Structures are given as C-alpha cells and as structure tokens.
Amino acid sequence: MTRREFITLLVGATAAWPLAARTQQPGKVYRVGFLANDPTIPTMAAGQAFRDGLHENGFIEGQNVSIEWRFMQGSVGRAAAFAAELVRLNVDVIVSSGVQSHPAVKRATAKIPIVMANSQDPVGEGLVASLAHPGGNITGLVQVVSAEFGGKRLQLFKDAVPQISRVGVIINPELKTDAPWSQRFGLYVGERTNFP
C-alpha cells in the first residue's frame, strides 16, 4: 500500500471516528486497533505512512494515540480471535488490512468504526451495502477493483490513448477477485481481446 493510499485510509478513519474523537478531547489517548496479516507493516514504508497520516491529523503515537497492532501471520484462524480482542480493548477505531481480516472485524463489532484497507470486493463479500453508501460501521478503500471498475479503467485508458486498439489483461478466472473480469469481458486464460 502506498503512502497516498494510507493517507486516504486515514482520512476515512477520521471521518468514521465519533465527533468527540475528532475534536480530540484534552488528555484523552485514542486507541487504534490495526488487524493485518504481515507483521512487518509497522517497520515498512506503509506503516510509517500510516503514522505520518495520523500525525498530520493531530494524532501522535505515544502522546494522544496508541496503536494496538495484531498480525495473523498467515493463520486465518487468528483473525476472529484478534478482532474479538480489539473489541474487548474498546479501541476507538479498527483498521482492517487484508481480505481475511475484514469479515472477522465485521462479525466482531457493529459499533466500533472499521476502516478497511486492501479490500478486494466489499460489496460482493457482503461487507458493505454499496461502494457509494457502505452503511453500518464500515468504510475504507478498494485496492483490487471489480470488473465494473476494470471496465471503467479500460475506458479511461482508451480515452487517454485513443489510438490504442489492443490491450492485454492477465487474469486467473479461478480466483474470486479475477472471476468478474472473465465474466464481464468473456476472457479466458491465454485469450486476447480487442476493444469493443
């Protein structure tokens, strides 16, 4: 995840937080729960970008915000336990990164705001009602987009480079995230297609 995506994520988190949290009550330390798979996130550029985004919005780790990091490390079964633990800790917001963590945090709470990062198909997975109006306590950003967005991206590409007549798309129709592409455009592994 890039720095810009994390800052976008932070803006979503800030919007999802209760008004009291955004006004930063003096002396209060806000708690952010962060559930992901990769334990190296805090030491990588993405983790620093997350902290920088918090800082740019007045939240400084160790002063007025603490981050409760939880990492599944490849064990999907840990997602539910970690999500429940973050709810018991009564964090102010949960940042959920990765497709395994999103359903776990949704099942764990309907009250604590949840900000999804790296979501692939939140509507198709039943996490939100729609991208425009997610409803409930979940918001976030979609990193791997659906065929609907894929079609729009192809159209934007065609608008930007009108002389293009062929585009290669590499997909695996057996993957849940790639299947909508193959269904929408009638693509099969190894097949090439022209613009309609």
Domain-by-domain residue ranges, the chain? 3-142, 147-194
Question: What does each C-alpha distance from 45 to 40, 48, 51 come to in angstroms?
Answer: 10, 5, 10
Residue type, 42: P
pLDDT of residue 192: 46
Say what the alpha-carbon torsion angle 147, 150, 154, 156 is, to the nearest 10 degrees.
130
Say whether pLDDT at 183 is over 70: no
Residue 32 structure tokens: 């952010």
The number of beta carbons lying within 10 Å of the beta carbon of residue 39 is 13
Beta-sheet strand order (sheet of 65-71): 65-71, 30-36, 93-97, 114-119, 138-142
Q: What is the pTM of this model?
A: 0.66
Report which of 1, 103, 93, 86 is spatially closest to residue 50, judged by C-alpha positions.
1
CA distance 169 to 190: 9
Q: What's the whole-number mean pLDDT along residues 18-46?
A: 79
Give Cα 161 to chain centroid, integer Å: 30
**Do 94 and 113 contact (CB within 8 A), yes or no?**
yes
Name the DSSP letter for residue 61: B
Query: Chain-wide mean pLDDT for the chain?
Result: 78
Digit-coded pLDDT (tens) for 111-170: 999 999 878 778 888 898 887 788 899 988 776 555 566 667 777 878 888 888 877 766
**What would the 3-class secondary structure string for 107-128 be?**
HHCCCCCEEEEEECCCCCCCCC
Q: What digits encode the pLDDT tens for the residues 47-98?
A: 888 899 999 999 999 999 999 999 999 888 899 999 999 999 999 999 998 8
Can you identify the CATH homologous superfamily of domain 3-142? Response regulator (3.40.50.2300)
